[in-house]
Amino acid sequence: MSDFRNKCVIATGGASGFGKAMSEKFAAAGASVVVADINLEGAEAVANTLPRAIAVQIDVADEGQNEALAATAVEAYGKIDVVCANAGVPHRVIRAIEMDTAEFDRMFAINTRSVFLAAKYCAPHMPAGSSIVATSSIGAKRLRPGLAAYYAAKGAVVTLTQALAVELAPNIRVNAVCPVSSPTGFDLNATGAPQLSEQANAQVIAGIPMGRRATPEDVADATFFLASDQAKFLTGVCLDVDGGRAIQ
């Protein structure tokens, strides 16, 4: 395992799901972690389980709150070494042309604008060798009907990741992970039910050669790798964490 002692890691969406697993993974490697989430109580619950961590409440679509997050991290730990720009949310399954325009705009604000704002306000405090890892989606590359705006926003994250990688090189590497669906809060936000029906779950798994959906740990492991020295020559990579769905 890479050593992240004396490193500061920000994880947005850190109160649950992928972000919680990322916070725990980096903390286990010695990092000081800023657990950032709109759900402050949840972020505090995660931070309280880690050896060196603070919780920060943030609406990741809000510019001022992103600026404040970076300032809080620097005040607490002196610098920012890794940004896991992970926070995101899908919309309810719906045909694109039936979708409310405000909800369409919300998808880009939370899922894409948040990555831009994280980079804008964190990068000035990141020393050479630092890393930004965004969370996109395998749906950005191989979509299914009903989540057009979400997938479009996550597709923009892929393009933004590559553009930032060029602009911030060689001092800051910028990569992304593209997970397949996972039984986290995604199901509730997309369907309104806390989990997929047995039939729906089986249909999703049928399209994944590895025979299961992603776990938060799968995504945290990939994020950790991209941020680590083992990936020191990787930038602009959008890594599929999908059990082979994109090639099925």
Are the C-beta atoms of 170 and 72 separated by less than 8 Å? no
For residue 11, the cross-strand partners are 35, 84
Are the C-beta atoms of 169 and 210 separated by less than 8 Å? no
Q: How far apart are the first and last CA of the chain?
A: 31
Residue 3 belongs to what H/E stretch? none
Are the C-beta atoms of 214 and 181 separated by less than 8 Å? yes
As a whole number of angstroms, the distance between CA 192 and CA 186 comes to: 10
150 is catalytic: yes
**φ/ψ bin of 164: left (φ > 0), alpha (ψ from -120 to 50), beta (otherwise):** alpha
Name which of 111, 119, 31, 12 is nearest 67 in CA terms.
119
As a whole number of angstroms, the distance between CA 114 and CA 40 comes to: 18
209 DSSP assignment: T
Are the C-beta atoms of 242 and 178 separated by less than 8 Å? yes
Are the C-beta atoms of 36 and 104 separated by less than 8 Å? no
Write out the catalytic residue numbers.
150
